[in-house]
A and B are shown apart, each in its own frame.
Chain A
């Protein structure tokens, strides 16, 4: 399967712990996006990478959140000192177009539950 893969699919953690999610995009895609989705809402943009450069961050991405894409391939999203409000589905998507017309290919998401 050559789609976008995310790991882990589910993560349960206690408040205050750190968590890290990994995303492997489609190999030829140079753009990688992170979105967050809560119950009853559509995906909300968090950040995006063009190759290894993080070019845009939403104000939803507080200082506790950090994302990297070290070699322009896979990406990680780390949440430090998790809070119950961080409970959500974290979606990764990739694209190969250089403008907004490109289709986003989504992974199945990583569901975070903060107790």
Chain B
């Protein structure tokens, strides 16, 4: 079975500063990796995903994540955050033969002016 560890429960950062949200996974098989975002009072929505190919994947709003197989990591980064990026971010893992997607505990990103 797969599992996900998000190393930081809360990350406060000032506007326009860079941010990294850390995610490590464990699995005995090849994985698919996802980052979901949950804005206040909204449902979870996909931010970006890694299925295969290029290990660096990007979202439309400036986030990127890199799949690192040797370190079993999929950290999320943004070079300059906005107030509107304040949300809960969840890392998730699944695989070809798994029917359930496993989520980490989440990281609350708070962007301060």
A45 touches B9 (CB 8 A): no
Chain A interface bracket (under 10, 10 to 19, 20 to 34, 35 or more): 20 to 34
Minimum CB–CB distance from B12 to chain A (whole Å) comes to 16
For this complex, 7 residue pairs linking A to B, each with C-beta atoms less than 8 Å apart, are A40-B105, A42-B92, A48-B100, A58-B100, A100-B96, A104-B46, A106-B45
B43 touches A107 (CB 8 A): yes
| Interface of A, helix, strand, loop or mixed by DSSP | loop
Q: A100-B94, A101-B32, A101-B94 are in contact. Are A45 and B43 (CB under 8 A)?
A: no
A108 within 8 A of B: yes
Q: Hey, which bits of chain B sit against chain A, CB under 8 A? A: 4, 6, 9, 32, 34, 36, 41-46, 49, 51, 90, 92, 94-106
Can you name the residue of chain A whose Cβ is closest to the Cβ of B100?
Answer: A45
- Chain B residues near A103: list those with CB within 8 A: 34, 46, 49
A93 to B45, CA, bound (A): 10
Minimum CB–CB distance from B71 to chain A (whole Å) comes to 21
A63 within 8 A of B: no
